[in-house]
Chain A
Amino acid sequence: MFPELNSILSSSPDSFRSGDFIVLSDRQADASFLIHHYLSFYLRAGCKVCFLGLVQSFSHYSAVSQRLGVSLTQAREKGQLVFLEGLKDSIGVISQEESSQSKLPLSYLRSPGAGLECLFKFVESSVSQNTENEDGEKWGPPVLLIDDLSVLLSLGVSAGAILDFTLYCQATICSELQGNIVILVRREEEDVDDEGSNLLQKGLIHQCSLALHVEGLPTGYCRDIHGQMEVWWRSREDAMYNQRKVFHYKVHDKGASFFARGTSSALL
């Protein structure tokens, strides 16, 4: 959890808006540090988290979360965290050795044209079951985190099918259960005529209530400032509706610091 980002977005684990649909995107940069932020944020807030880790292994997130002060293994044992290990489970499906029922959420690998209905059913079941922890208290509102959604485009799923999937997730998690969704998508260059990832990102922004876009600095490569992040408030209820602000950021070992443009500590 990055305290500076919390103050920029006016939220904290004790008080955050529910029904939020947050889209993280990047272009020629790596926005995965924001996913780690949200993972530790929502676990600390006591929410039930469903994490679709499609590009990295569980131990990677576990190691980073350790540095941010949250233990993923404990959360998984307690039932607070449901983790789908996309990489590990997909080897069997792709090489067509396994066709068991447990690999059903990844059925899009077998027939990418069919869509993501099974994945949605997996998400739905994991947020609705097991809603109480061992003390009998209810977990907080459910949260879905996806890292990252654009890899499905590389596996042959169409952008339209992915947008349908996110629409269903939003209907179930945000509207019905008043939970939150955070999705990471990775984008291409603007001039590359790619129907896939640009279309996917635009469709998600239409649906979202907050969009964070990470990019490299327009002036070139710099060692002290890793890039810029643009925050776009898109919820009608927000005082800052339809406003965009740009911040510079630098990632370090235990977090990331955000500052207004031109106020990096390397300059001042």
Chain B
Amino acid sequence: MLLNIVHGTESGGFIVVEDTVKYSGREILKCFINAAIKRGEDVHVLGFETSEAELRAGLDSSSGQKIHFHKGHPDPLGWTCKSSVTVQQFNTPDITRLVQNTPHTKAAVLIVDSLSFILRHHQPVVICRSLQELKKVGVVKTIVGLLHSDLHLQGVVKSVCHLANAVISVAPANNEHCGVAKTTRRTKSGKLMQEEEYFDVSEDAALSVKTRTHQPGHVQTEPDKPKADPTSNLTFNLRLSKKEKEAKEKVALPFVFSQEKKSALLRPTPGTGRITYEPDAYDDFDEEDPDDDLDV
């Protein structure tokens, strides 16, 4: 399901990528950008927390014109007057204007990096409203926002995720370099789908999802080393020659019953406890009563 959402085969809406200190979700954002470019859509990026260079790293350089970076980063609050957009401009009319000012062909994708920064400077209520309006107005088809869930109160995180059509929470997988993504998607009809997948993001922002049967902790790329023979280099002999092997096969094992006894045991007898005694070669079957020895 993760791949479907990222590659946009499901219809757009508002998608939240939720991450924590333990695993960063920015790579997933890059996958969204990459996928959107491949689909030929216009991408508008509101970058407040990271620089343009960092977000562009790994993306196809030929796609330059399709990505419109609205540079908030070096100066998101307007302190040094270097930026083209400040956090104050995160409201419906300003963003609509930004998107419409750039020439575009198809419906646009808006990437917000990050929602946490905007939530720090605006009331959560105002943000939620703006996001909902943007969805309704239709200027942008898809909005993808990055949210650091450990920087806000639980209530705020839950309220923002409540608005979303899909929420992707990333966390580190136990032993490996990849991460685990828990995706929750709500369709228009109200159906809820959830899935947990292991994923990995390559250098060129391509997302690969590992199959569900892939167990954590199993290193699959390392070929099995040929097992060292434990019977070599010992001071005693653990090997058997051919003759010895044959003799070994021939030894009569104890508790190997004859066929008759086996079938007798397997036959279900009604209640009677029959004791079948089969004397073997070493048994000394005596008629004497051992109690006769007692001197009482």
Contact = CB atoms under 8 A, between A and B. Distances in A.
Given A202-B21, A242-B23, A175 B51 contact: yes
A172 interface: yes
Interface stretch (B32-40, B74-82, B158-166): B74-82
A163 B79 contact: no
B79 A242 contact: no
A63 interface: no
A174 B73 CA distance: 13
Contacts of A172: 74
Given A175-B74, A203-B151, A242 B49 contact: no
B151 A206 contact: yes
B151 A167 contact: no
A141 to B, nearest CB: 17
Contacts of B23: 242
Contacts of A206: 21, 24, 148, 151
Contacts of B104: none
B121 interface: yes
Interface in B1-48: 21-24
A160 B49 CA distance: 13
A205 B151 CA distance: 11
Interface in A176-213: 176, 199, 202-203, 205-207
Interface in A26-85: none
A120 B120 contact: no
B172 interface: yes
A139 interface: no
Given A160-B120, A163-B120, A199-B151, A205 B74 contact: no
B176 to A, nearest CB: 10
B75 A171 contact: yes
Interface string B103-133: 0000000000000010011000000000000
B120 to A, nearest CB: 4
B150 A202 contact: yes
Contacts of B150: 202
A249 B261 CA distance: 72
A87 B79 CA distance: 26
Contact of B49 (A124, A167, A241): A167
A232 to B, nearest CB: 9
Nearest to B172: A242
Contact of A171 (B21, B22, B73, B120): B73
Contacts of A121: 79
Most buried by B among A163, A167, A202, A205: A167
Interface in A237-253: 241-242
Given A175-B51, A203-B151, A164 B77 contact: yes
B221 to A, nearest CB: 17
B151 A202 contact: yes
Most buried by B among A124, A175, A205: A175
A168 interface: yes
A110 B172 CA distance: 43
B75 A168 contact: yes
Contacts of A207: 49
Most buried by B among A160, A171, A175, A241: A171
Contact of B79 (A117, A176, A205): A117
B172 to A, nearest CB: 6
Contacts of B117: 167
Contacts of A163: 120
A171 B51 contact: yes
B218 to A, nearest CB: 19
Contacts of B148: 202-203, 206
Nearest to A208: B21
Interface string A137-171: 00000000000000000000000100110011001
Given A120-B79, A167-B49, A171-B51, A205 B21 contact: yes
Contacts of A124: 80
A202 B53 CA distance: 24
A168 B82 CA distance: 12
Nearest to B53: A175
Contacts of A168: 75, 77, 79-80
27 contacts: A121-B79, A124-B80, A160-B121, A163-B120, A164-B76, A164-B77, A164-B120, A167-B49, A168-B75, A168-B79, A168-B80, A171-B51, A171-B73, A171-B74, A171-B75, A172-B74, A175-B51, A175-B53, A175-B54, A175-B74, A176-B74, A199-B151, A202-B150, A203-B148, A241-B177, A242-B172, A242-B177
* 6 A-B pairs with the lowest CB-CB distances in the bound complex, closest first: A171-B74, A160-B120, A205-B21, A175-B51, A202-B150, A117-B79
Interface of A: 117, 120-121, 124, 160, 163-164, 167-168, 171-172, 175-176, 199, 202-203, 205-207, 241-242
Interface of B: 21-24, 49, 51, 53-54, 73-77, 79-80, 117, 120-121, 148, 150-151, 172, 177
